[in-house]
Amino acid sequence: MTVQIAAKADATQAAREVAVRASHVSMDFGSGALAVDDASFELEKGRFLTILGPSGSGKTTLLRMIAGFQKQTAGEITINGKAVDAAPPHRRSVGMVFQKLALFPHMTAAENVAFPLKMRRFNPRQIAGRVDQFLDLVKLGGYGDRRINELSGGQQQRVAIARALVFEPDLLLLDEPLAALDVKLREEMQLEFRRIQHELGVTTINVTHDQREALVVSDNVIVMDGGRIQQQADPVALYRAPANPFVAGFLGLSSFVEGTATADGNLKVGDLVVQGTAARRFETGAPVVAAIRAEQIRLAGTREALAACDMTLEGRVCDTIFEGERQMYVVEIGALCGATFRVYHHDPDSFGLFRVGDPVALGWNRRDLKIFSPAA
The domain that holds 366 is classified in CATH as 2.40.50.100
Q: How confident is the prediction along the chain (376 residues), in pLDDT tens digits per residue?
A: 433 444 444 444 445 799 999 999 999 998 888 999 999 999 999 999 999 999 999 999 999 999 999 999 999 999 999 999 888 888 888 999 988 888 999 999 999 999 999 989 999 999 999 999 999 999 999 999 999 999 998 899 899 999 999 999 999 999 988 887 888 888 888 988 899 999 999 999 999 999 999 999 999 999 999 999 999 999 999 999 999 999 999 998 999 999 999 999 899 999 999 999 998 889 999 999 999 999 999 999 999 999 999 999 999 999 999 888 788 999 999 999 999 999 998 665 655 689 999 999 999 999 999 999 986 5
Range of the domain at 307: 254-372
**Same domain assignment for residues 223 and 275:** no
Among 193, 218, 240, the domain boundary falls at 240
**Same domain assignment for residues 220 and 296:** no
The domain that holds 47 is classified in CATH as 3.40.50.300
Sheet of strand 359-364, all strands in order from the earlier edge strand to the far edge: 298-300, 359-364, 311-322, 327-333, 339-345
**Same domain assignment for residues 234 and 258:** no
Asked whether residue 51 is domain-assigned, the answer is yes
Distance CA 246, CA 288 (A): 14
Number of domains in the chain: 2
Cα-based distances in Å from 212 to 84, 224, 324, 327, 329:
32, 16, 17, 19, 21
Among 240, 275, 302, the domain boundary falls at 240
Q: Which of 303, 227, 211, 297 is nearest to 257 (CA)?
A: 297
Among 240, 263, 295, the domain boundary falls at 240
Is the distance from CB of 148 to CB of 104 less than 8 angstroms?
A: yes
Asked whether residue 10 is domain-assigned, the answer is no
